[in-house]
Amino acid sequence: MRTEIYNELVDEKYYHIVHPTGLNIYVMPKPGYSGAYAVFGTNYGSIDTKIRSENGETVDIPEGTAHFLEHKLFESEDLDAFARYAKTGASANAFTSFDTTCYLFSCTGDFNASLRILLDFVQSPYFTEQTVAKEQGIIGQEITMYKDVADWEVLFNLLRALYHKHPVRIDIAGTVQSIAAITAETLYDCYRNFYNLNNMALAVSGNVDIDEIEKICDELLKPSEPFLFERKPFDEPDGICRDYIEESLSVAAPIFSLGYKESYGLPKQTLKQKIAVDILMEIIAGSTSPLYNELLEKGLTNTSFGFESFFGFGYGASIFSGESKDPKAAAELIRTRIAELKATGVSQEDFDVIRRKLYGRLIMSYNDVDDIAHTFVNAHFDGEGIFDPLDVFRTITKDDVSEALSHMMRDEFAALSVINPIEQEK
């Protein structure tokens, strides 16, 4: 079944196809664009550490299995997927996040041939004990390497400080010890549990033909059994593990991440809540905010300073990060200014300015084929439409942002993660 969805405000349309195999397909043609972008994603990420066995029991799986499976799926008995893409000229990649695993490519040439490769290899798992053992060594080296990447370590140290049990505290790739327990049977079990077309989405944007895409999907998609997987809330205590954590690595200057463990809108936020949080974070620490300029003027950080609202199923954090000669002083200033904002409230002027800024950024995103494809997949897994944020931005109020602030960034749920230069180690 194919449905056309049009939005007058941005003068854009896309097609939503509910395929007989269970796959949801989203296509936004962009006539005149030089290339195209495709994402094939599954609602399965590193936080999914349990599967349902054939007898219906819940079984633990090794940490890092989703990421491991992503790597292995590119292989086959013959040519691997990258070698096949090289023949079409497409640039291909994949990633595993906490909640999803996505396979993607961009191209300016033969899109249809590249789409065939994508649909074929993602639906054709090939695992042996020999190839799994080889990959354990490769990913083990990757895990070790990331232990020396300061930006990565400062974030995961923060998550380990904030969370007691939720698997968001675990490195997406797992540990050398956990991946050693992965077998070919483990991968096949996880593939059957999560790589079900009812649990996946395909998104395409660019200079493409919707009829050709549907024809290729009809030819290559394989019917799936009814899908039974459902995420359930994790048994995570309210409080944090610790309020400070530090490590020493080869960095030129200290870096920090100050994070607040959030429960607002969990286990999963609504679209309005997400947009309210985005506006709130920009008001607090955006490049035009008093806090941002005060941090720079006092020499407590530099232009590396940034922030993000970090939400997924059963977890959430407000994070402020950057390089600083005095991370504790920078964190204290951020905490003080947030406390002051809680006391005074969000001003109507600040709300209006930031709402317009983010609304304009959203409208511009409909011109970016990469953004469009990824947004389709994320929106689908969240039960939303790609045009839904336009309506929310037009109707959201200062009170909605104030509501978010009243529930978020509670001082007792804050933790500071610091990476110091090795020469400062005592």
Residue 401, both tokens: 């942002």
CA–CA–CA angle 211, 215, 219 (5° rounding): 170
Asked if 158 and 259 touch (Cβ cutoff 8 Å), the reply is yes
Residue 265 three-state SS: coil
d(Cα 136, Cα 15) in Å, to the nearest integer? 41
Residues β-bridged to residue 244: 416
Run of H or E including 66 = helix 65-72
166-170's contacts with Cβ under 8 Å and 24+ in sequence apart are 166/47, 166/234, 166/236, 166/314, 166/315, 167/46, 167/47, 167/48, 167/49, 167/63, 167/98, 167/234, 168/47, 168/98, 168/312, 168/314, 168/315, 170/46, 170/49, 170/63, 170/64
Report residue 353: phi and psi, to 5°: -65, -50
CB neighbour list of residue 292: distance below 8 Å, 6 or more residues apart:
285, 286, 305
Catalytic residue among 4, 8, 12, 70: 70
Residue 268 three-state SS: coil
CA–CA–CA angle 57, 63, 65 (5° rounding): 80
Q: Is 70 a catalytic residue?
A: yes
Q: Which of 205, 148, 159 minimizes the C-alpha distance to 317?
A: 159
Report residue 207: phi and psi, to 5°: -80, 80
Residue 221 three-state SS: coil
Task: Tell me which residues are annotated as active site.
Answer: 70
